[in-house]
Structure 1
Amino acid sequence: MEQKIIFGPAGRPLGYKGPAYKACDFIKEEGLDAYEYQAGRGLRISEKSSKILKDNSKNNNVLVSIHAPYFINLSSDKEKTIDNSIEMLFKAAEVAEWMGAYRIVFHPGYYSKYSKDEALKIAKSSITKLLEDLEIAGISEFTFAPETTGKRSQLGNIDEIIAICNEFDKFEPTIDFAHLHARGRGFISEKDDYNKILSKLEDELDINKLHCHFTRIEYTKSGEKKHHTLDEEDYGPEPQWFIESLVENDWNATIICESPNLDLDAIKLREIYEKLI
C-alpha cells in the first residue's frame, strides 16, 4: 500500500544539536518526513535562515509546517491584542512563504467575557482584516491551519475550527487529537471515537491532506494539563486506534508528534503505521 501518512516532530529533534533551520537532514536520517518549525515564543527566524530551511526540506523531501506564536488571540476584548495578533499572523505568513511551509498552525483565541458565538464572530472579523492586509502586501503563498485547542476556555472546539475553515479560502484545520481528548475530559475512549471525528471532517470539509497533532495527554476539568509520552499508557488517547482509524478510512495525513519525546515518539507512530500497510 502507498504511504499516505507521514510523521515528524513538533520542533527540533531531541538528539539534534544544530540550528533548527537545518534540522531536516537529521529528521530524514531518522526515517521521518515532516517537521513543524516552532515559533510559539516568537517569530525570530530571519529571511535568510527561512530560505535555508526551505532548501534543506526540499533536498530531504521533508514537509514543513510552522507553528505561529502561542499568544495570538483573535477574539480578545482588547483591540490592541487583536491588532498584535493580526500582525503576528501576517508575519507568520511572510515567514511561511520564505520557508515553503505548507501550513501555518495557530490557536485562534479565548472566549474571555464573550459567549462562544460572539468570540467566533470576533475571530472571523479579525481574520477578514488579516486577509485584507496580506492581499494588499501581495503575500499569497500560505495556508492557515487553526488548531483545535485543549482548554475549555479557548476558542477552538472542532465545530468552531470547521466553521472558520468553511468561511475562508486558504484555511485548513489542524486537528490536535490530544486537545480534543482533554477538552472533552477523556472524549476518545474507544476506536470509534476517532472514526466519528474523521467522519465529521469528511462530511463538513473538503480536505486533501489532514494536518494532525498527537500525543498522550493529562487533563483536568478545565481541559489540557500536560503532554505525556506514548509509553505513559495511563494517559489517553490511544495511538494504535488513531493510526488504525486513519488507515481504515483511507486518509492522507501529516502527523506531528507533540509528546515530550518528539521525534522518538514520531518514529513509534510511524512503526505502528508501517505494520498496518
Structure 2
Amino acid sequence: MAVVRFGPAGKPIDYKGKTNDVCTYINAERLDAYEYQATYGVKISKQSAIELKKNSKDNDVLVSMHAPYYINLSSNKADVIERSVKRLVQAAKASEWMGAYRTVFHPGFYTTYTPEEAMKCCKKAITEIQDELEAQSVNEYTFAPETTGKKSQLGNLDEIIEICGSFEHFAPTVDFAHVHARSGGSIKDKNAYNKIFQKLEDELGLKSLHSHFTRIEYTDAGERKHHTLAEDSYGPPLEPLLEEIVDCGWDVTVICETPFLDHDAIKMKVLYEDILKIK
C-alpha cells in the first residue's frame, strides 16, 4: 500500500520547543512529515541535526530540508554562483546529519540569459556541487529542485524534469501552487493533476513524489502570495489532488506551505483519509 505523508513547512505554529524535539510534537498531531527550513541559512549544529534524526525515527516522521532561498545557480555573476554552490554543499552535509530524505532548493533566475543558457549555467554549477560533495565524502543526500512560481525563475516543470534526469542524487519537488501560479491558473481538476503525475512517470520513471501545497494568489508574472486552505477562492483545488494521490498509488509526501502550516496539514490529512475510506 502506498505511503502518503503530510506535514508542515517549518515548525508547527504553536510549538515552542527545540528543533531536535519537534517530531514528537508533529507525531502527536497525527502528522508524519516535517520540512526543516534553512531558508535564511543552514544554522543547525551537527549535534542538533543528529538528535533531530533520532527524534524523527522514534516518531516515524519523514524529514526533508528546504535549502536557503539565496541560491541562484543560473546567475550571470560568478560570485553569486560561488556562494550558491557553497550553500548547497552545506545544506547537503546538514541533510546527511539529520537524515533528511530530500534537500529542496530553487534553481535560480533567468536574469539576462535565455532559458537554455540559464539551464547550461545551472548544470555546470550542479556538477561543481557534486564534485565538492564527493571530495568531502558526503553521499547520503538527494537534491530536490522545486518547481518555481515566478516566470522569471528557472524551474518550470519541464526544466525540473530535465535537471533531475541529468544527475544522480536528484528527484523533483513539485510545488503544485507554483505550477498553478506560473501557468496562470491551469490546475482546475483531477485531470490536470493526473497529467503532472503521468509526465513525471513517463519522463523520470517515478512512482514517488515530494510535493508542496498551498492556496496561492498570482499575477501575470506568477506567484504573489500564499493563502490558507479556508481561502478557497484561491487555487489550486485540494480535493482533486488528494483523489489523484489515492488513485495513482504513489508514495507521496505533501508539505503544507499555507500560513497555517500544521493546522492546515491536519486538514489535508483528514480529507485524504475521508477520500480513502470512500474509495
Match of 2:79 in 1: 80
Q: 1:34 to 1:204 in 2, by over 3 A?
A: same
CA contact (8 A) 2:108 2:155 kept: yes
Match of 1:245 in 2: 244
Match of 1:129 in 2: 128
Alignment partner of 1:172: what SS?
coil
Amino acid at match of 1:86: V
Match of 2:89 in 1: 90
Amino acid at match of 1:209: S
- Which TM-score applies when normalising by structure 1? 0.98
Match of 2:66 in 1: 67
CA contact (8 A) 2:148 2:155 kept: yes
Q: Which runs of 5+ in 2 are unaligned?
A: none
Amino-acid identity (%): 55
Match of 1:54 in 2: 53
Q: For residues 45-97 of structure 1, what are the alpha-carbon distances to aligned partners after superposition, in whole Å with 9 as ceiling and x for unaligned?
A: 11011111011101101000000000100000000100100000000011001
Match of 1:202 in 2: 201
Amino acid at match of 1:139: V
Q: Could you tell me how far apart the structure 2 residues matched to 1:101 and 1:56 are?
A: 12
Q: Indicate whether 1:219 and 2:218 are aligned.
A: yes
Amino acid at match of 1:64: V
1:22-171 equivalent positions in 2, closer than 5 A: 22-171=21-170
How many residues were matched structurally? 276
Alignment partner of 1:81: what SS?
helix
Alignment partner of 1:37: what SS?
strand
Alignment partner of 1:276: what SS?
helix
Q: For residues 177-210 of structure 1, what are the alpha-carbon distances to aligned partners after superposition, in whole Å with 9 as ceiling and x for unaligned?
A: 0000001111112221111111111101122420
**Cα deviation, residue 15, structure 1:** 1.3
Q: For residues 233-274 of structure 1, what are the alpha-carbon distances to aligned partners after superposition, in whole Å with 9 as ceiling and x for unaligned?
A: 110000001100111111110000000000011111101110
Q: Could you tell me how far apart the structure 2 residues matched to 1:57 and 1:174 are?
A: 21
Alignment partner of 1:248: what SS?
helix
Amino acid at match of 1:204: E
Q: Could you tell me how far apart the structure 2 residues matched to 1:56 and 1:191 are?
A: 36
Q: Could you tell me how far apart the structure 2 residues matched to 1:264 and 1:129 are?
A: 40
Alignment partner of 2:53: what SS?
helix
Q: Could you tell me how far apart the structure 2 residues matched to 1:101 and 1:208 are?
A: 19
Q: For residues 102-143 of structure 1, what are the alpha-carbon distances to aligned partners after superposition, in whole Å with 9 as ceiling and x for unaligned?
A: 000000000000000110110001001110111111110100
Q: Which runs of 5+ in 1 are unaligned?
A: none
Runs of 4+ off more than 2 Å: 206-209
- Which TM-score applies when normalising by structure 2? 0.97
CA contact (8 A) 2:201 2:207 kept: no
Alignment partner of 2:210: what SS?
strand
**Cα deviation, residue 225, structure 1:** 0.4
CA contact (8 A) 2:2 2:250 kept: no
**Cα deviation, residue 98, structure 1:** 0.5
